[in-house]
Homo-oligomer: A and B are copies of this chain.
């Protein structure tokens, strides 16, 4: 018999909870910068203010720790765009989704970066998830988008590609934040500036989908 995928909900002591939280937080930073292979358990331990061996005591192997971090990410990931129907308005659903993803990119860029580096290396850990759960997730949303198109609520766009566009655009602001800041000539962005970027992106997406909300898309020749 193999170990259950989901860890048993054992009630943990105070020290254990505290140490695990510190290690997980440190691991997110390290994995985000250097990926799975490039991250050492000693770097995680140092950042967490602990001894290297403590990381192994609380999480077993480096891969076990990595898997827990990845599981956290994938859970938080698809909280939005959860329940949409053909009756919803694409303008509202799409702007809400872009806003939520952009918010996530600003608040937890490390999580987006860890996912990115996992996919960069060919997603050895996540490939089953991508090919099954995420595939299904995309198909069900794509069906709704297709219905919107049939109803004339938006332009005819390949729904799967549209979802990929949304991921590419929103996650880019987390994964490539260093480059974004550099080419914008800034050291950091205020909440206001980031909100402005978000609005501009939503505008671009809606116009691209043929959903004009205000005085946009007036330059069509």
A residues sitting closer than 8 Å to B (CB atoms) are 32-39, 113, 116-117, 119-123, 127, 130-131, 134-135, 138, 152-158, 160-165, 167-169, 171-172, 175-176, 178-180, 182-185, 197, 200-201, 204-205, 207-208, 210-212, 216-221
Contact = CB atoms under 8 A, between A and B. Distances in A.
Contacts of A183: 130, 134-135, 138, 160, 163-164
Contacts of A138: 183
A128 to B, nearest CB: 9
Chain A interface SS verdict (over half): helix
Contacts of A219: 152-156, 210-211
A142 to B, nearest CB: 9
A115 to B, nearest CB: 9
A127 B37 contact: no
B164 A180 contact: yes
20 contacts: A33-B121, A33-B122, A35-B117, A37-B39, A113-B120, A116-B116, A117-B120, A119-B175, A119-B176, A119-B178, A123-B179, A135-B185, A153-B219, A155-B219, A156-B219, A157-B204, A165-B169, A168-B176, A207-B207, A217-B220
A117 B119 contact: no
This chain: copies in complex: 2
A175 to B, nearest CB: 6
A129 to B, nearest CB: 9
A178 to B, nearest CB: 5
A205 B219 CA distance: 14
A200 B169 contact: no
Contacts of A220: 210-212, 217, 220
Given A165-B169, A201-B161, A175 B120 contact: yes
Contact of A200 (B35, B134, B161, B216): B161
Contacts of A167: 172, 176
A197 to B, nearest CB: 7
